[in-house]
């Protein structure tokens, strides 16, 4: 059944438009839905919004470009993203005010439930003001000078090794890791709110790694240069926080103040945690903050998805596995970037899988054995260590199994990985 016959009028929902190297990014931030369209497709939307029927808009496009577009498939795809709907099916007529109607979009995404909406853009702008950013920059510069003067302030891997009171140390590190990750995501959220973008916090996964996520899809409605602070705000929070810890450790080494051995050890462990998190951001084969910043710089809004499609096409052509997809619509520049990024993607995924097999799964087995011995009975003198050891083991085991389950579910549903 044709949903958009030639005599049908169309209601076009209010939307944002942002030019990019590959076309124009069109979306509805309140629904967190965006689609990349060629510039010529916007002429069709403008004609429909002006009151032309589907057939008239089709003829207008043909007169300008000498081609007859497939309207039903095109408009049905936009309807699923909440951008258009047939007029007259719900009592709304098309015309000069069609784009002003509040659309009850058929088959459109549901309106998102955003978090921390009580934080006004004005308040967020004060927290992300140039003065605040400059103060953070000064802290980072001082920490860099301190580390250059006293390299001992930087922790080695043993900073997270607790030979005494092992379970409590690991439990502290895990709980503090969750807390600092929340602050990282709040950095994203505040910077996005400063630009008027609504966000939502949640748990997700990248491959089998469980991660906190800030869904700030609405930043794609901003000009490209205004997206960098929301994208990089999380790592900036981590850099400033790590710098403060460096300065505290530097003051201790200089004798300006004294820290207890436990406070010093825990502080160095948290600093190591921050440094490892910043290293994680360099994993460009996942959708990290740095990946999004580089994609935004290159103007490649779907670099990872296009790379996966290209790799599947290579397998389809050379090994006869599946059917190749046409990517001729990608700009030549983006096709070159896809080929370069494919090397990074394959190398990174291979390293991650090797880490899973050689490190994470053996650790999971050891924790499972530890839990078995703990639940099997403990001698009375060791009873005080039982609860933290049990919690630490359960935390790690649950985290890895949850992430692995989410990843397998995505693959089973055929959606591919989210990272």
pLDDT at position 100 is 38
DSSP one-letter string for 45-107: HHHHHTT--HHHHHHHHHHHHS----HHHHHHHHHHTTSEEETTSSSPPPSTTGGGS----TT
d(CA 238, CA 271): 10
Residue that wins the pLDDT comparison between 139 and 17? 139
- Answer whether residue 364 shows pLDDT above 70: no
Percentage of the chain exceeding pLDDT 70: 75
Range of lowest pLDDT (27-31, 70-74, 156-160, 171-175):
156-160
pLDDT at position 97 is 43
For 59-111, the pLDDT digits (tens) are 999 999 888 888 888 898 888 888 899 987 654 444 444 443 333 333 445 55
pTM: 0.74
- Answer whether residue 7 shows pLDDT above 70: yes
Planar angle of CA 321, 326, 328, nearest 5 degrees? 140
Contact 329, 306 (CB under 8 A): no
Mean pLDDT (whole number) for 341-345: 88
Q: What is the separation of C-alpha 100 from the centre of its chain, rounded to a whole number of angstroms?
A: 32
pLDDT at position 230 is 94
Mean pLDDT (whole number) for 173-199: 89
Residue that wins the pLDDT comparison between 368 and 178? 178
Q: Give the pLDDT band (50/70/90) at residue 136.
A: very high
Q: Give the pLDDT band (50/70/90) at residue 250.
A: very high
pLDDT at position 237 is 96
- Answer whether residue 249 shows pLDDT above 60: yes
Percentage of the chain exceeding pLDDT 90: 24
Q: 3: left (phi > 0), else alpha (psi -120 to 50), else beta?
A: alpha
Mean pLDDT (whole number) for 392-412: 67
Residue that wins the pLDDT comparison between 381 and 316? 316
Q: Give the pLDDT band (50/70/90) at residue 204.
A: low
Q: Give the pLDDT band (50/70/90) at residue 205.
A: low
Mean pLDDT (whole number) for 164-186: 82
Residue 172 has a CB neighbour count (10 Å cut-off) of 18
What ranges do the domains of the chain cover?
A: 10-100, 121-413
pLDDT at position 328 is 66
C-alpha distances in angstroms, 86 versus 3, 74, 107, 178, 280? 8, 13, 12, 47, 46
pLDDT at position 353 is 80
Mean pLDDT (whole number) for 204-210: 64
């Amino acid at each position: 059944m044709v949903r958009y016959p030639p005599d049908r009028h169309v209601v076009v929902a209010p939307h944002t438009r942002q030019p990019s190297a590959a076309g124009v990014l069109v979306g509805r931030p309140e629904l967190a839905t965006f689609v990349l369209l060629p510039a010529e497709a916007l002429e069709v939307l403008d004609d429909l919004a002006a009151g032309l029927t589907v057939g008239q808009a089709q003829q207008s496009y043909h007169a300008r470009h000498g081609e007859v577009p497939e309207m039903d498939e095109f408009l049905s795809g936009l309807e699923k993203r909440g951008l258009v709907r047939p007029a007259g099916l719900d009592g709304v007529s098309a015309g000069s005010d069609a784009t002003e109607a509040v659309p009850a979009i058929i088959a459109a995404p549901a309106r998102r439930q955003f978090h921390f909406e009580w934080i006004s853009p004005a308040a967020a702008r004060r927290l992300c003001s140039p003065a605040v950013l400059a103060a953070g920059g000064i802290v980072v510069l001082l920490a860099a000078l301190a580390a250059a003067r006293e390299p001992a302030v930087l922790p080695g891997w043993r900073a997270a090794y607790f030979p005494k009171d092992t379970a409590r140390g690991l439990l502290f590190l895990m709980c503090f890791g969750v807390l600092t990750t929340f602050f990282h995501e709040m950095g994203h959220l505040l910077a996005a709110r400063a630009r008027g973008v609504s966000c939502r916090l949640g748990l997700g996964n990248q491959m089998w790694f469980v991660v906190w996520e800030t869904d700030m899809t609405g930043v794609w409605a901003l000009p490209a240069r205004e997206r960098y602070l929301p994208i990089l705000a999380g790592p900036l929070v981590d850099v400033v926080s790590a710098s403060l810890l460096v300065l505290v450790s530097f003051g201790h080494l200089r004798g300006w103040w004294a820290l207890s051995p436990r406070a010093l050890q825990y502080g160095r462990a948290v600093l190591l945690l921050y440094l490892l998190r910043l290293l994680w951001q360099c994993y460009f084969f996942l959708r990290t903050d740095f990946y999004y910043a580089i994609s935004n710089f290159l103007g490649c809004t779907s670099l990872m998805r296009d790379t996966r499609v290209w790799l599947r096409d290579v397998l389809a052509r050379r090994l006869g596995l599946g059917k190749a997809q046409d990517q001729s619509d990608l700009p030549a520049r983006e096709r070159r970037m896809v080929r370069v990024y494919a090397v990074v993607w394959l190398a990174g995924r291979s390293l991650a899988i090797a880490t899973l097999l050689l490190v994470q799964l053996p650790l999971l087995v050891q924790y499972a054995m530890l839990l078995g011995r703990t639940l099997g009975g403990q001698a009375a003198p060791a009873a005080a260590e039982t609860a933290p050891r049990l919690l630490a083991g359960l935390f790690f085991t649950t985290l890895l199994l949850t992430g692995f389950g989410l990843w397998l579910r995505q693959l089973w549903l055929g959606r591919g990985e989210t990272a």
